[in-house]
Chains A and B, each alone.
Chain A
């Protein structure tokens, strides 16, 4: 009972923080320069949060993730990734149900069941070996599925790229995460930390590539993130809205 109260208070608090943050963001000066991207009206603010995140990443997160990758053998790291992905599968099952996708929902819960029972609490991904497909969905995608627009691009402190819609969905996703039901606070926090480090370690190659191929890492990340997110909402089949490029009207390129 007491536990429940603590949890409710936590939800209330996170919701309040999220609302306050959204308010601050929306009232802060909007960028309306000549080159402003219509999907990124908060660019100046986003850029400063981006550099903050980048500094934190270079100073702390990346070194820790690199050590994690170098010290632990691959099977252990795969086990860790599987464990957290398994928890996500359960939440995906809920969100698939909320999106009226019965097959995907059943498969997600089936994955969760199989991996939890036969895969040592999710350390082994038996379900993939059994060819039960993963259908990752979060609450932001559920909102998007029911027609809630993504809203402006938003870079969150420490959490990275997001949109206004996905930020609003965050408290719900946090509740849906089975980890948040762990009552032991130190255990819960350690698990969250391990999850983050594990995720970062899998992105080491990608972030190195980003440094090499992006002319402006901020713009590259933004444009890739918004496309990818939209693609996820439409399950890999977004409506075609290709910008008519100049090449088509330019006879010399044919």
Chain B
């Protein structure tokens, strides 16, 4: 009898617990689950797409816009890389900075696409407490060689059901946005925001021309 009562209490606790956590699950996918799904999806797409594997920047842009951009706060990434100069930038300058930075980053990863074969993602257990608005999700990309460390910083978008968005990316221990911060500051100090935009745009044009040459040759 005592035992049965205990069981009843236990199931009540379980049901109540589920009822409390369920609404949270229904509105927001957990950040680690999101990363796992997103990474595996992108890896599968790369593996199935010959053009992407060959480093075709136009194709990669399409893939990025379709699959990844909805989960990025790219404006925050750009703002963070630009640093204090971002506040002085006009809306037009901000838009251009975002576009040029995006092109530059796509170039960064274009060369690595051909190596994306038979890769799997392992998401490490996340250390975050309830109510955290910003979390780090750590993963390992496993393939034939040594596993590659790939970490993400995510923020919870304000509002119900808006979900989590990535605002920084770490490859092998190097945070992407941080690596550009000093370089951008150098340019802004020397030539101002427009100078930085010009430098980025020139660099992207040169890269595009360079790639065209090597594709033909």
Contact = CB atoms under 8 A, between A and B. Distances in A.
Interface of A: 35, 37, 128, 134, 205, 208-209, 212-216, 219-220, 222-224, 227-228, 230-232, 236-238, 240, 242-243, 245-247, 250, 253-254
A238 B136 CA distance: 12
B79 A253 contact: yes
A240 B136 contact: yes
A236 to B, nearest CB: 5
B182 interface: yes
Given A236-B138, A253-B76, A35 B185 contact: yes
A121 to B, nearest CB: 20
A128 B145 CA distance: 8
A219 B186 contact: yes
Given A224-B179, A236-B149, A247 B184 contact: no
Nearest to A217: B183
Contacts of A208: 111
A246 B186 contact: no
A216 B183 contact: yes
A241 to B, nearest CB: 11
B179 to A, nearest CB: 5
Contacts of A236: 138, 149, 173
Interface of B: 73, 75-76, 79-80, 83-84, 86-87, 104-105, 107-108, 111, 136, 138, 145-146, 149, 153, 158, 167-168, 172-175, 177-187, 189, 199-200, 203, 207, 210
A212 B186 contact: no
Nearest to B214: A208
Given A227-B173, A246-B87, A253-B79, 4 more contacts: A35-B185, A219-B182, A223-B179, A242-B153
A interface: dominant SS? helix
Contact of B184 (A215, A230, A237, A254): A215
B187 A215 contact: yes
B203 A215 contact: yes
Given A236-B173, A246-B87, A219 B183 contact: yes
A232 B173 contact: yes
A213 B87 contact: no
Contacts of B108: 209, 212-213
A205 B180 CA distance: 20
Contacts of A240: 136
Contacts of B87: 246, 250
B77 to A, nearest CB: 8
B179 A227 contact: yes
A214 B187 CA distance: 12
15 contacts: A209-B111, A212-B107, A212-B207, A216-B186, A220-B183, A224-B179, A227-B173, A231-B149, A232-B173, A236-B173, A240-B136, A247-B76, A247-B80, A250-B79, A254-B158
Contacts of A134: 146
Contacts of A35: 185-186, 189
Given A246-B79, A247-B76, A214 B183 contact: yes
A65 B72 CA distance: 38
Contacts of B111: 205, 208-209
Contacts of A250: 79, 86-87
Contacts of A232: 173
B75 A253 contact: yes
Nearest to A136: B146
A220 B181 CA distance: 9
A-B complex: 6 closest residue pairs judged by Cβ atoms: A231-B173, A245-B80, A247-B79, A247-B76, A215-B183, A228-B173
A215 B186 contact: yes
A247 B86 contact: yes
Q: Looking at B108, B174, B179, B180, which has the most chain A CB atoms within 10 Å of its CB? A: B179
Nearest to A240: B136
B204 to A, nearest CB: 9
Contacts of B167: 247
Given A205-B111, A227-B173, A236-B138, A215 B83 contact: no
Given A134-B146, A246-B79, A253-B75, A227 B175 contact: yes
A213 B207 CA distance: 8
Contacts of A243: 178, 181
A49 B62 CA distance: 41
A253 to B, nearest CB: 5
